[in-house]
Amino acid sequence: MLLKITFLGTSGTIPSVERNPSAILIQFEGERILFDCGEGTQRQMMIAKVGFRNLNNIFITHMHTDHFIGCFGLIETMSLNERREKLTFYTPNATFLEKLFKTFGYQYLDFPIEVVELKDGDIVKFKNFKILAFETDHIIPSLGYALIENERRGKFNRKRAEELGIPPGPLYAKLVRGESITINGKTITPDMVIGKPRKGRKIVYTGDTRPCKRTLEVAMNADVLIHDASFSSELQEWAVESKHSTAREAAEIAKKAKVKKLVLTHISARYSKDPLPLLNEAKEIFENTIIAEDFLSFEVKYPD
Ligand SMILES: [Zn+2]
Ligand SMILES: [Zn+2]
């Protein structure tokens, strides 16, 4: 199943010529999910040639404007495009967002908007995956999100099936569906030919945060960790004060959590053109690190 990440905005608080404020689009088969929706996200979607259809769920990490102010323009465009499907927002502060939506008269639109407040440990279920919200450490209430794919069934052991005398064809399909079969009076159960369920893929996005224990726990063995790396270590004090992370700190979390790939984002304007200092200090600790760029897009493949 296709699992693809597209970075629509990778700047820190202030946008730059190269970078738009935070927004990440994740495509899981036909489903599109947006994580954060900074100013101008809808235009970034147009440039990336990502349609607004099948986008029904937007997860906001926290209510700093560089993470959600783009949702108003997006909603109004959707309305002019005669959208009818419900659009759901998830946020650590529903009251605030609901008030703004009411102020703008969005209760009169032709499609319903739902605002759901999430807290640490809450799970939103989809057909093939779930989103887990986890508390992060920022100036205001703030959540990170993990997209966790459902377990996949184990591998079918064809050799074992042949040894058991099962002819290839519909009987294989039955076993794969979880049904037992009978061959020469002998019952064969699925577990005799199908391996243990395999873990699904996992993508974790922190939003703005200091390095924290919760991120470490949730990111354990993740395929991709997308972490705040606003500054280099030279500005460590400023990172602590503004409750962001340095590239080095993000790399330390990635290493401890044994993730497969680290993507640094929320890049401060001072490194916008040349983020090499961030990349270099992160790579000293965690080799498989890249810096997010606007419109960077890649597939997350199955490990096996
Ligand atoms: Zn921010
Ligand atoms: Zn923030």
What pLDDT was estimated at residue 53? 86
pTM for the full model? 0.93
Ligand nearest to the CA of 267: 1
Alpha carbons 278 and 270: distance in angstroms, whole number = 11
132 CA from centroid of ligand 2 (Å): 20
* Least confident stretch, 111-120, 178-187, 235-244, 260-269: 178-187
Catalytic option among 66, 208, 228, 294: 66
Answer whether residue 153 shows pLDDT above 90: no
166 CA from centroid of ligand 2 (Å): 59
16 CA from centroid of ligand 1 (Å): 13
Ligand nearest to the CA of 64: 2
Mean pLDDT, to the nearest integer, of 69-94?
97
127 CA from centroid of ligand 2 (Å): 31
Percent of the chain having pLDDT more than 90?
91
Residue 184's pLDDT band (cuts 50, 70, 90): confident
Q: Quick check: 51 and 44 in contact, CB under 8 A?
A: no
- Radius of gyration of the chain, Cα coordinates, nearest whole angstrom: 22
For residue 32, list its beta bridge partners. 27, 55
In whole numbers, what is the pLDDT of the chain averaged over residues?
96
Active site residue 304: no
What pLDDT was estimated at residue 84? 96
